[in-house]
């Protein structure tokens, strides 16, 4: 059974866990607890991919207790009851060790249901969370648990895991992989301390590469591992195969699907002397190519490096409250000491001095300050999730409010990503009959344009005989005794068929025009295009009303791109670019001091998504795009882009309001307390009211009105 790479490299002992030496080292507290064999209730907190689950599994293996695992994102009271029902049975003779992942998603009632069994020792709880446990874990659970902080893993430690992953990848291949100079270091720094993220990125990207290739050596066909192909080899690519290397076509004609590089659904016709790229998919014709780019010199390997470099260059946003607290807390302690000293000196009343100092400390307790940011972020991300906007980090939510430039891919983002018939003009026969004949021929072709034609006809098709695929020109066949030719103007010219109709207006709209001849006479003109999403125009209008500059960057030809740009009212269009061109566009605008977002769905968009300040990945796109993006739009459309920006701005307003209230409250309260006008009990009540006010203000985000167009 296949196992994800991140799961396959999971260590079996504490010695093999990367990072966390402060708790798992020789003298680390957690290490000593595990070695003792007396496992208490524990809570692990820290960023994703830092080893919390791995350590919990290792601990479970070293106890005599039955392991039960729950994930709070999907589990409920019924799942807890099942575990409770097993207690004191032959299934759990030594009790249960319960590993509860993402405990922050359990409400108070769900956490309380475990309390009785934790107290009597029948359940030993190990819970993990990415949030501050002092905010999200029920106090009674917290007081009965030992809390351990897991920190982001250093690049040096991640390098060990990456090397282990490479060894596992090598075990799956006929020929071991080798990492080029500096690659290990780039991968180790690109994941931001998240080991799982590093493993996922490696696996997703490396698995795109074909494992074998057919080369022509000494006049013989030989199948070899793709890693063994060298520059200058002649590689045979059969119909439907993926290309293993970059190179130049020597012989043959075919249409190659380059969507993984360009994002465009229309295959590109290839003939001798044309360049082709590894990872793309050959169409109906056989090709021989001269290998020029192999291994880490291929375009696909370049995409891998671009993603790694872009991710490693992104800085983390520091929390406003954290910066302020570092100054505020020492300052309050200083004010309290000063209040005590001055009161004692002036009044000669030590009790009064203590009372005033305590009142200052109580009224200045930074609870509201600590709650100001996390509560607003929690409510903001929660509301976003309810609207189909999955925000991976608080950094992304914070940055989205400052977006000035939105760069968008075309295919699959602004357009549907699926070619369809948009126009049909028939000459001398009914339009439906013309479409039936065209679809009857195209049913034998695998070309995306052919599928668009066949999908557009909802009736019964006729059988086709003597089918021919004429690479770069079109197709021909016999249908019901008639000779049908369907393709471009070049096909018509070769057959001596006069084409008097003007198709330039259709071509200027960015459409692919097919000419159909029946028995050597022009019978129909069929236009195929990737239609714009119904929501795209409204979505882009919403972004522009928010003051965001919209730019489309696409691998498609300039004419098609310009036509789509005019249709949706986009500000600027950049066409004919490869993945590195999209990254250059992002970095160019960032170099101007602008905050840049990128929206895309394809493998070719992944480097730009990672390079942008905020990357929006379409939910229906590739796994690599979603891995590289900071925000995933579950619905797959761009109508939620403006909503995400508005929600980000609303969240940041709430944070600023909360911080203002917290500071205003303290500015007023501290002098009052220091002068003796505030009893510590009243100060405590006022402090609690301040915290409640901050939380209530954050909850109002749920009621904020957001414009959602499209």
- Taking only Cα atoms into account, the Rg of the chain, rounded to an integer number of angstroms, comes to 32
Q: Is 124 in a helix, a strand, or coil?
A: strand
Can you list the pairs that 340-348 forms with residues at least 24 positions away whose Cβ atoms lie under 8 Å?
343/676
Q: What is the distance between the alpha carbons of residues 290 and 276, in angstroms, rounded to a whole number?
A: 10
- Per DSSP bridges, beta strands 268-270 and 405-408 are unpaired
Token pair of 499, please? 């084409």
Closest CA to 43 of 149, 152, 123, 193: 149
Q: Annotated catalytic sites, by residue?
A: 409
- CA 639 to chain centroid: 18
Q: What is the distance between the alpha carbons of residues 282 and 270, in angstroms, rounded to a whole number?
A: 10
Cβ pair 572, 552 in contact under 8 A: yes
In the chain, what is the straight-line distance between the N-terminal and C-terminal CA atoms, in Å?
Answer: 43
128: Cα within 13 Å, side-chain hemisphere: 20
Token pair of 231, please? 């520059």
**Residues in contact with 33: Cβ distance below 8 Å, sequence separation at least 6, in sequence order:** 39, 40, 146
**Residues in contact with 686: Cβ distance below 8 Å, sequence separation at least 6, in sequence order:** 363, 665, 669, 678
Q: b/e map of 104-126 (b: 16 or more CB within 10 Å)? A: bbbeeebbeebeebbeeebbbbb
- CA 101 to chain centroid: 21
677, exposed or middle or buried, with CB in 10 Å at 0-12, 13-18, 19+?
Answer: exposed
Closest CA to 601 of 648, 634, 573, 560: 634
Closest CA to 155 of 194, 182, 181, 205: 194
Q: Is 164 in a helix, a strand, or coil?
A: helix
326, exposed or middle or buried, with CB in 10 Å at 0-12, 13-18, 19+?
Answer: exposed
**Residues in contact with 177: Cβ distance below 8 Å, sequence separation at least 6, in sequence order:** 166, 169, 170, 206, 227
For 101, which DSSP code?
A: E
Q: What is the distance between the alpha carbons of residues 609 and 311, in angstroms, rounded to a whole number?
A: 9
């Amino acid at each position: 059974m296949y196992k994800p790479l991140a799961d396959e490299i999971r260590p079996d002992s504490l010695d093999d866990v990367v990072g966390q030496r402060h708790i798992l080292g020789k003298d680390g507290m957690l290490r000593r607890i595990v070695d003792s064999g007396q496992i208490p209730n524990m809570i692990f907190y820290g960023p994703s991919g830092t080893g919390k689950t791995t350590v919990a599994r290792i601990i479970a293996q070293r106890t005599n207790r039955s392991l039960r695992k729950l994930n709070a994102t999907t589990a409920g009271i019924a799942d807890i009851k099942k575990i409770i029902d097993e207690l004191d049975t032959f299934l759990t003779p030594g009790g249960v060790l319960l590993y509860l992942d993402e405990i922050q998603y359990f409400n108070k009632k769900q956490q309380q249901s475990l309390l009785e069994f934790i107290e009597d020792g029948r359940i030993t709880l190990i819970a993990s969370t990415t949030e501050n446990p002092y905010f999200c874990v029920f106090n009674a659970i917290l007081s009965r648990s030992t809390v351990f902080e897991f920190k982001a893993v250093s690049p040096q430690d991640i390098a060990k895991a990456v090397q282990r992953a490479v060894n596992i990848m090598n075990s799956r291949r006929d020929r071991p992989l080798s990492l080029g100079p500096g690659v290990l270091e780039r991968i180790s720094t690109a994941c931001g301390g998240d080991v799982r993220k590093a493993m996922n990125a490696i696996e997703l990207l490396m698995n795109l590469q074909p494992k074998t290739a057919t080369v022509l050596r000494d006049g013989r066909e030989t199948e070899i591992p793709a890693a063994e192909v060298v520059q200058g080899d002649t590689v045979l690519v059969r119909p439907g195969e993926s290309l293993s290397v970059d190179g130049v076509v020597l012989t043959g004609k075919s249409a190659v699907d380059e969507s993984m590089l360009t994002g465009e659904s229309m295959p590109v016709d290839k003939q001798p002397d044309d360049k082709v790229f590894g990872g793309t998919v050959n169409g109906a014709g056989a090709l021989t190519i001269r290998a020029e780019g192999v291994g880490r010199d291929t375009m696909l390997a370049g995409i891998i490096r671009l993603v790694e470099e872009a991710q490693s260059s992104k800085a983390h946003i520091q929390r406003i409250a954290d910066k302020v607290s570092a100054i505020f807390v020492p300052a309050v302690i200083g004010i309290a000491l000063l209040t005590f000293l001055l009161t004692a000196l002036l009044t000669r009343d030590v009790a009064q001095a203590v009372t005033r100092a305590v009142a200052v400390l109580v009224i200045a307790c930074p609870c509201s300050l600590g709650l100001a940011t996390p509560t607003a972020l929690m409510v903001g991300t929660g509301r976003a999730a309810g609207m189909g906007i999955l925000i991976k980090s608080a950094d992304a939510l914070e940055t989205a409010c400052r977006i000035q430039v939105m760069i968008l891919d075309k295919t699959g983002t602004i357009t549907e990503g699926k070619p369809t018939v948009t126009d049909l003009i028939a000459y001398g026969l009914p339009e439906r009959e013309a479409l039936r004949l065209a679809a009857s021929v195209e049913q034998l072709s695998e070309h995306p344009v052919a599928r668009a034609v066949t999908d557009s006809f909802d009736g019964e098709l006729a059988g086709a005989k003597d089918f021919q695929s004429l690479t770069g020109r079109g197709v021909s066949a016999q249908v019901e005794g008639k000779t049908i030719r369907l393709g471009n103007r070049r096909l018509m010219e070769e057959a001596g068929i006069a084409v008097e109709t003007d198709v330039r207006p259709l071509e200027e709209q960015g459409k692919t025009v097919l000419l159909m001849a029946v028995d050597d006479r022009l019978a129909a003109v069929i236009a195929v295009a990737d239609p714009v999403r119904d929501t795209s125009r409204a979505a882009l209008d919403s972004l522009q009303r928010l003051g965001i500059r919209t730019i489309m960057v696409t691998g498609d030809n300039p004419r098609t791109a310009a036509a789509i740009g005019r249709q949706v009212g986009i500000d600027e269009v950049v066409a004919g670019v490869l993945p590195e061109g999209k990254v250059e566009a992002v970095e160019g605008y960032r170099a101007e001091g602008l905050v840049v977002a990128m929206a895309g769905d394809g493998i070719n968009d992944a480097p730009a998504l990672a390079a942008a300040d905020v990357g929006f990945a379409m939910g229906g796109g590739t796994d690599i795009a979603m891995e590289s993006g900071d925000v995933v739009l579950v619905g797959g459309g761009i109508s939620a882009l403006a909503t995400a920006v508005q929600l980000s701005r609303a969240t940041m307003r709430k944070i600023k309001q909360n911080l203002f209230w917290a500071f205003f409250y303290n500015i007023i309260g501290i002098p009052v307390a220091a002068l003796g006008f505030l009893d510590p009990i009243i100060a405590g009540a006022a402090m609690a009211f301040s915290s409640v006010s901050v939380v209530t203000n954050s909850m109002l985000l749920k009621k904020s009105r957001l414009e959602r167009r499209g």
